Structure 1
Amino acid sequence: MPNRRQVLAVGGAGVAGLIGPSLVLAGPVAEIGMQGTSRGEHVWFTPVGLAVAAGTTLRFVNLDPGNSHTSTCYHPTLFDRPQRIPTGAAPWDSDFLLPGDSFEVLLTVPGVYDFYCLPHEHAGMVGRIVVGRPGDEGWHGAATDASDLPAVALDGFPSVEAILQTGRVMPPGQP
């Protein structure tokens, strides 16, 4: 049975996919880990950049045994932040995920999605998802509004080009 976060993340149509695979054909799933050092002095998403096809479900999993994390996209309806997801895409906020918890969101609009961990943005815990490719119908490139983002967050976003070239960008120091 779906939990509250899963229902909120995918909306009513997605609930059928969570209840039974015979009701809805499942699309691809990509996992992003939330991690940190044992003392909590360094936190990150793994991968920090990922290229996926439209219709991919992202599963954020808190793999950090010592910290709670969020996956929160940049959007004015969420904590009055600048919009850094495609126009028409549904904004998401996982709420706090305890160690071992997960959260899923379905991405259907082509473009660039920037997200962060609410309590750790100032530590540079940010990520970028590229859905589709430039030139796809409805493509929305990377956002340029950085009006209230800390420099460490801006420095943490891998380039769209690097993500498209490799498909997956790991945080510095991670394999």
Structure 2
Amino acid sequence: MRLSRRHLLALGGGLAALAGGAGAAGPPIEIAMRGSARGERVWFSPRGLAVVPGTTLRFVNRDPGNSHTSTAYHPALFDRQRRIPAAARPWDSGLLLPDQAFQITLTLPGVYDHYCQPHEMAAMVGRIVVGRPGDPGWEGPAPDSEDLMPEVLAAFPPVDAILAAGRVEAEGAA
């Protein structure tokens, strides 16, 4: 059997897509903003997530009783210490009402920490790991700093745990 040039190109394109890494060209991956029924607990689900560069994330407010944000730690946003790669663009979703969503595509390898503006003091934070240590341009997690409460710092899942599991949920998340 002899394959035409068109068939070879189609086959090669399909193999390249498979080798390119899951998630980069696929549908957005959801990070839900959640809260307990009485509102005493709030969290991102997952709290820690590993993705390949080029993945689009969709933050969706699944909490019927609260508004939430996803905001990158960055000096350009509320004069916060930078906790995303130096060359990455910071984001702020603005307040999302229940069932509203916000999307961002992360292309640079490294660790991205984000928080919910009205609920940071309740440790509503998350960590996204794009790529892996050793990738060109990789930037690891920001060092602990005095501008964050110890409870907030403790809520960030370790990078190695995120990479090992692919996703880490908040403790006690329902």
TM-score (norm 2): 0.84
Give the superposition deviation at 1:147: 2.8
Tell me the alpha carbon deviations over residues 77-127 of structure 1, each in whole angstroms, 9 at most, x when there is no partner.
000000000010000000000000000011011000000000000001000
Rg comparison, structure with higher value: 2
Q: Which residue pairs with 2:154 in the alignment?
A: 155
- Counterpart of 1:6 in structure 2 is none
Cα offset, 1:27, TM superposition = 4.6
Using the TM superposition, give the Cα deviation of residue 134 of structure 1 relative to its aligned residue in structure 2, in angstroms.
0.2
Question: What is aligned with 1:118?
Answer: 117
Greater shift in the superposed pair: 140-149 or 45-54: 140-149
Matched, 1:169 2:168: yes
- Percent identity of equivalent pairs: 64
Which residue of 1 is the match for residue 52 of structure 2?
53
Aligned-partner residue type, residue 147 of structure 1: E
**Bigger shift: 62-71 or 146-155?**
146-155
Match of 1:33 in 2: 32
Alpha-carbon distance in structure 2 between the residues aligned to 1:28 and 1:107: 14
Q: More deviation in 161-170 or 149-158?
A: 149-158
1:73 Cα deviation from its structure 2 partner: 0.6
Consecutive aligned runs of 4 or more in structure 1 exceeding 4 Å deviation: 25-28
Q: What count of residue pairs does the alignment treat as equivalent?
A: 151
Deviation at 1:61, TM superposition (A): 0.2
**Aligned 8 A contact 1:73 1:115 in 2:** yes
- Superposed displacement of residue 174, structure 1: 2.9
Task: Give the corresponding residue for 1:3.
Answer: none
Partner of 1:95: 94
Residue number in structure 2 paired with 1:146? 145
Q: Which residue identity lines up with residue 68 of structure 1 in the other structure?
A: S
Q: Aligned letter for 2:140?
A: G
How far has the Cα of 1:38 moved from its partner?
1.6
- Partner of residue 21, structure 1: none
Aligned partner letter, 1:130: V
TM score, norm. by length of structure 1? 0.83
**CA RMSD after TM alignment:** 1.3
Query: Which aligned pairs between 1:60-71 and structure 2 lie closer than 5 A?
Result: 60-71=59-70
Distance 1:26 1:165, change over 3 A: closer
Q: For the residues of structure 2 that align with 1:139 and 1:98, how far apart are their CA atoms?
A: 34
